[in-house]
Chain A
Amino acid sequence: MKTTGKLRRYIYVLTLFFITLSGFGQMPIFKRYYIADIPGLGWLAQFYVTHIIHYAAASVLIALVLYILFDFIFNGSGLNRITGSGYLKIVILAGLIVSGGLMVFKNLPGVYYGHTTIIVLDLVHLSLCMMLLCVSLYTLIWEKKWVN
Chain B
Amino acid sequence: MTSKLSRRAFLKGSLTAAGSVAATTSIARAATSMAHTKKEPLVTLLDISKCIGCEECVYACQEVNANKYPEPQKPFPKMVPDRVPVQDWSDKRDVTDRLTPYNWLFIQHASATVNGEEIELTIPRRCMHCDNPPCVKLCPWGSAKQEENGLSRIDPDICLGGSKCKKVCPWDIPERQTGVGLYLDILPAFAGNGVMYKCDRCYNRLEKGEVPACIEACPEDVQTIGPKSEILEKAHALAKEMNGYIYGEHENGGTNTIYVSPVPFEQLNQSIEKGKGKPHLNTVKNMMADGTNLAMLIAPLAGVVAAFGKFYLSSKEDK
Contacts and interface: CB of A to CB of B under 8 A. Distances in A.
Interface of A: 26-29, 32-34, 47-48, 51-52, 55-56, 58-60, 62-71, 73-75, 101, 104, 106-110, 112-119, 121-122
A32 B163 CA distance: 11
Interface string B294-319: 01101110111011101100000000
B253 A113 contact: no
Contacts of A117: 142
Interface of B: 81, 83-84, 131-132, 137-143, 145-148, 155, 158, 162-164, 167-168, 191, 253-254, 287-288, 290, 292-293, 295-296, 298-300, 302-304, 306-308, 310-311
A70 B304 contact: yes
Contact of B290 (A48, A59, A73): A48
A43 to B, nearest CB: 14
A115 B159 CA distance: 11
Given A47-B168, A55-B295, A59-B292, A64 B145 contact: no
A122 B307 CA distance: 31
Contacts of B298: 59
A112 B303 contact: no
A71 B300 CA distance: 13
B145 A66 contact: no
A33 B80 CA distance: 9
Contact of B311 (A33, A75, A107): A75
Nearest to B306: A67
A63 B302 CA distance: 6
